[in-house]
Amino acid sequence: MALDRITVVRTGLRVLDEVGLEALTLRKIASELGVQPPALYWHFKSKRDLIDEMATTLLTDHTQPIPGDTPWREFTLTYGEGLRRMLLSHRDGAKMFAGTYLTDTSVYRHQDAALRLLTDAGFSLADAGQVYWTIYSYTIGFVIEEQAVYPRPGERDERYDLDRRTQRMADEHVPLATAAGPELFDRFDQRYTRGLQAIVTGVDTWRT
């Protein structure tokens, strides 16, 4: 098998799903590929460099063109929901993506199209950028918390078991915080969508 950058990246994403971001190492990826770790340094100087490439590849795989006649509300909701699905497609996907340096400048075409759609809808460029960035930041932060509770789809971290949480809080006499458990550590689809809708409703007042 030819060892090129994309092969290393795809293998890295596969190993990420198996071990998580903290345990991901170039050594483990090299072992999966059946090569010695120095062979990977020909392509990536560090784990950080590889993670940047993995995140960029994930983004380019999931980015879709934005039709110019898309209503701005529809775009913002679709953008946020699509970003969340992308991050959830891999274990620790949101942690991997946070702070990423994108290595492929073609991804900025999507950003430019998004800003053009928003400015055409009446947002200033500064406000359009704020809308785009707010949805991006909200989604990454939300999914980091979501993947802490569910490191893998359907596999709940026992530390966030709702019955266990209720028992731990029993002596604190905090009935509202106790009752809010499902809203804080469950119903992620519903809670994400409501939060996203709140952002979209709020920024509507910025349009001129």
Distances (CA, A) of 170 to 47, 156, 157, 175, 184: 43, 22, 21, 9, 17
Residue 12 lies in a domain: no
User: How high is the pLDDT of residue 200?
Assistant: 98
Q: Which residue has the higher pLDDT, 135 or 184?
A: 135
Q: Burial of 5 by CB count in 10 Å (0-12 exposed, 13-18 middle, 19+ buried)?
A: middle
Which one-letter DSSP state was computed for residue 202?
H
User: How high is the pLDDT of residue 182?
Assistant: 87
Residue 28 lies in a domain: no
User: How high is the pLDDT of residue 154?
Assistant: 85
Residue 178 lies in a domain: yes
| 3-state SS class at 188 | helix
Band (pLDDT 50/70/90 cuts) for residue 122 is: very high
Residue 9 lies in a domain: no
Count of structural domains, the chain: 1
pLDDT at 112 over 60: yes
pLDDT at 135 over 70: yes
Per the structure, the complete domain to which residue 179 belongs is given by 66-206
pLDDT at 1 over 60: no
Mean pLDDT, rounded, of the chain: 94
Residue 31 lies in a domain: no
CATH number of the domain encompassing residue 116: 1.10.357.10
Whole-structure pTM over 0.75, yes or no? yes
Residue 46 lies in a domain: no
Cα–Cα distance measured from residue 15 to residue 38, given in angstroms and rounded to the nearest whole number: 18
Mean pLDDT within 17-42:
95
User: How high is the pLDDT of residue 153?
Assistant: 85
Residue 155 lies in a domain: yes
Residue 3 lies in a domain: no
